[in-house]
């Protein structure tokens, strides 16, 4: 299944990409598994998304957790803690 | 409820007037304005850029206001958050809440700001004499949001 | 600090602009507006008269704001309270507080309102279909002021 | 000594007086003693100022207590709990 992935702010700059489509096996239907796929790229991806790093994930524009489920064509956003206001 | 994410500045007096208009049951309006400071974390700030996640910001702010409406008896709420290039003394955000009584208005206004600071997808990048830097999130903001249970 | 007790209405936008003017260290302005409601304690209110103790009101408000300045880091404060004849939807009071950070601005604004409600010598008399009546003080206002210790 | 006494709001209306000068013996130099003098007038005075009634006293425009001292030419104000804001 295809998942649209967006990056914002510092993470967008570190990865050098703002948006991509990632094809995941249907069995990898959880945020944590998408992150494993990204970390497997190594480099900035492995560092910035390592366990303990401070980042947030939203699924379909709602804040999500590591165990949030994913479905085909979901929009996942990965970004630093927010600093508006 | 009025929610707006915009580049343009806003007129606090006009927004509060519109929030109150036509409802003589409103006895209290609490409001908050966030402004760009020229000094942050020890560095001079010449300008800042506010990035956001367009598809999510309006949805997140709407959810925060809806949550406040379940907790307090409100008679209206306006939230405006600017994005793009901003300079010291510029207005960043307005939260204005109308209610019959002041306790509800104050609590909801502070709740919305605390949640906005931790849940709404905006990010500030500052221009300082040492170059650009992303503003770091504050533990105090997480603590402020956490106290509402 | 600007303190005013006056019959005339006030312009919230202009007052907040004046409070902020020329200080780029202000990152937060919290404000409160109290308004005349057309219904209070179950009766329709056609109008109200605000009586005060002229020699004391300005002094009491000044003391309340001064106390808030000892408790929080403030960068300015405006308190305007109207007296005389007022009608539903009219503005009664404005408290606006400027600070570097929002927690100080919110706390000081609410503190000033709570103390004003119990310490500043204003009295409301309402005109209802059953005649005139003095507004009763609320135990909840005493409790609100008491929580600041 | 002379004490200027002011009344506001409901108490002003009940007493039918907004301002008066009361001559107190120098020895009666405390708010409580001024109140005793007023209560001794009976009627509305005794009722509205009875112990347990809800009223406030200011001396020279500062909130005061029953045992606050009085001096010649002080301005004492007696009024209901405030209801502004």
For residue C130, give how far its alpha carbon lies from the nearest alpha carbon of chain B (Å). Answer: 20
Token output for A2: 């295809």
- The DSSP call for residue A40 is T
Mind listing the pLDDT tens digit for each residue in A52-79? Answer: 999 999 999 999 999 999 999 999 999 9
Is pLDDT above 90 for A28?
Answer: no
Bridge partners (DSSP) of residue C50 are C84, C124
Tell me the pTM. Answer: 0.96
Q: Are A22 and A37 in contact (CB under 8 A)?
A: yes
| Structural domains present in chain B | 2-130 (3.90.1170.40)
CB contacts under 8 A, C 50-69 vs D, are 50-53, 55-56, 59-60, 63
Task: Report the share of chain C in percent with pLDDT over 90.
Answer: 97
Walk along chain B (149 residues) in steps of 10 and give the mean pLDDT of each run.
98 98 97 96 94 98 98 98 98 98 98 97 96 94 93
Q: Is the dihedral of CA A44, A49, A55, A57 positive or negative?
A: positive
Chain D interface includes C45 (CB < 8 A):
no
What is the pLDDT at residue C112? Answer: 98
Compute the C-alpha angle C17/C22/C28, nearest 5°: 60
ipTM: 0.95
C43-71 pLDDT per residue, tens: 999 999 999 999 999 999 999 999 999 99
* CA–CA dist D6, D1 (Å, integer): 16
| Among B111, B149, B110, B117, CA closest to B136 | B117
pLDDT digits (tens, 9 = 90+) for C104-141: 999 999 999 999 999 999 999 999 999 999 999 999 99
Q: Which two tokens stand for residue B69?
A: 């409406």
Are chains D and A in touch, 3+ Cβ pairs below 8 Å?
Answer: no
Which segments of chain C does DSSP mark as H helices, in order?
Answer: 12-20, 54-71, 102-119, 139-146
> For residue B149, what pLDDT is reported?
87
DSSP strand pairing (B2-6 vs B74-82): parallel
Spatial distance between the Cα atoms of D57 and D70, rounded to a whole number of angstroms: 12
Task: Tell whether C20 is within 8 A of chain B (Cβ).
Answer: yes
Give the pLDDT of residue B112: 98
Question: Cβ(A2)–Cβ(A73) under 8 Å?
Answer: yes
Instruction: Considering the domain delimited by D2-79, tell me its CATH architecture.
Output: Roll (3.10)
């Amino acid at each position: 299944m295809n998942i649209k992935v967006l990056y914002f702010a510092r993470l967008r700059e570190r990865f050098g990409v703002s948006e991509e489509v990632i094809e995941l096996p249907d069995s990898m239907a959880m945020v944590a598994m998408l992150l494993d796929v990204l970390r497997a790229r190594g480099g900035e991806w492995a560092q910035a998304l390592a366990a303990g790093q401070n980042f947030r994930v939203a699924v379909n524009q709602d804040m999500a957790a590591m165990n949030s489920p994913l479905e085909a064509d979901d929009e996942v956003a990965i970004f630093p803690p927010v600093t508006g206001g | 409820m009025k929610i707006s994410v915009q580049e343009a500045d806003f007129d606090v007096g006009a927004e509060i007037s519109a929030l109150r208009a036509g409802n003589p049951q409103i006895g209290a309006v609490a409001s908050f304005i966030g402004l760009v400071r020229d000094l942050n974390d020890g560095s001079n700030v010449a300008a800042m850029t506010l990035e956001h996640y367009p598809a999510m910001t309006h949805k997140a702010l709407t959810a925060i206001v809806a949550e406040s409406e379940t907790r307090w008896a409100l008679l209206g709420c306006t939230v405006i958050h600017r994005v793009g290039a901003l300079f010291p003394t510029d207005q960043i955000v307005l939260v204005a809440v109308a209610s019959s009584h002041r306790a509800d208005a104050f609590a909801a206004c502070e709740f919305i700001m605390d949640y906005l600071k931790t849940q709404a997808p905006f990010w500030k990048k500052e221009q300082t004499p040492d170059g650009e830097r992303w503003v770091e999130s504050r533990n105090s903001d997480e603590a402020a949001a956490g106290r509402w249970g």
